[in-house]
Amino acid sequence: MTVVVLAVADAARYKALMLHAYEHAADAFTSTAQERALEADEWWVRRIAHPEGMTVAFGCFEADRLVGTVALEFSAKPKTRHKALIVGMYVLASARGKGLARALMQAAIGACASRGDIRAVQLEVTEGNVPAIALYESLGFTAYGVEPLAVLTPGGFRSKVHMWLALPGPPCPVGNGCDAAL
């Protein structure tokens, strides 16, 4: 299986996969299947292929079935344009163990690096999701904090681990010290 950039034509399959994810991995997401099912089709299109390039999504297919995805959100704000946020990372249980999650994450990181203006890739992962945290750490992400009571799930409150990955990029403006954090 290969990783591809999702297009507008993939929106219905993306929506179906993510609604499944919100239902079957409720602890992993801050949204519910019920609230996302109410989103207009345009919302799903913007999530995978924003007309101004503020989002991009990647997917893995088995035949014509979308079995895994990850999306990136970019900021339009001048002070945060240097960051990207990983969202909606999910691989169907039947497709796990084949390296798809790693391939999806590598595609997302590669897309950030190829832009040239992204210096930090951020994500949140539910505390206790050992396989996901191990994957992210193996790709170079490090934790920078834990948000307690981040999300109320059917099993109770869950905390979120905030992680980031530094990317090489253009030099910082003189005197602002941003390279000190890297």
HEC profile for 89-151? EEECHHHCCCCHHHHHHHHHHHHHHHHCCCCEEEEEEECCCHHHHHHHHHCCCEEEEEEEEEE
pLDDT in tens, 94-149: 999 999 999 999 999 999 999 999 999 999 999 999 999 999 999 999 999 999 99
- Length in residues, the chain: 182
pTM here?
0.90
Q: 160-171, pLDDT tens digit by residue? A: 999 999 998 766
- Domain boundaries, given as residue ranges, for the chain: 3-170
Rounded distance between C-alpha atoms, residue 17 and residue 137, angstroms: 25
% the chain with pLDDT above 70: 92
Residue 125's φ and ψ, nearest 5 degrees, are -135, 140
Residue closest to 1 by CA, chosen among 94, 91, 63: 63
Superfamily of domain 3-170: Gcn5-related N-acetyltransferase (GNAT) (3.40.630.30)
CA dihedral 135, 139, 144, 148 (to 10 degrees): -20
Span of 44-48, 49-53, 121-125 with lowest mean pLDDT: 49-53
The pLDDT value given to residue 171: 62
62/35 Cα distance (integer angstroms): 28
